[in-house]
Amino acid sequence: MQITNRQGHVLSVEFMGDCNMSEDVKSLCIAIDRQTANQNTISLVMLLEHLKEENAAELVKALRCHCTKKELLSKVALIGDHDPIIAQKTPNEALSWEEKYFEIEDLNAAWQWANN
């Protein structure tokens, strides 16, 4: 996992193909904690294009289960070249944030959505 941008209330992270799921989720939660220290809420932009579809789905599921500051996330943009149903592979009824999937070609639209 690589944090690619911290801009205002938006945290952007990119996941590589050789990710260590438990370590990456832990690092992501730490990054969210740090970013929310000075913000009321933040949005998260997750670039998943380099992950296999099953790893991307597992990462989204892990974020939903293990993020301790869920109430501080307002939006999570999932960006990749996977089937858009990746965001629907795990139940999300209890999410405190909005979540939306974008194709990699729609990266600018994802940023605009996360910033509003």
Provide the pLDDT confidence category of residue 114 given band limits of 50, 70 and 90: very high
pTM for this prediction: 0.82
Reported as a single tens digit per residue, the pLDDT across 49-80 is: 777 777 777 777 777 776 766 778 889 898 88
User: What's the rounded Cα separation, in Å, for the pair 30 and 51?
Assistant: 21
Provide the pLDDT confidence category of residue 110 given band limits of 50, 70 and 90: very high
Q: What is the CATH number of domain 2-115?
A: 3.40.50
Task: Give me the phi and psi of 101, to 5 degrees please.
Answer: -100, 135
Q: What residue segments make up the domains of the chain, in order of their start?
A: 2-115
Residues 6+ apart with CB under 8 A from 59: 15, 19, 21, 24, 25, 46, 48, 51
The residue ranking higher by pLDDT, 103 or 35, is 103
Which helix or strand (DSSP H or E) is residue 63 part of?
A: helix 53-66
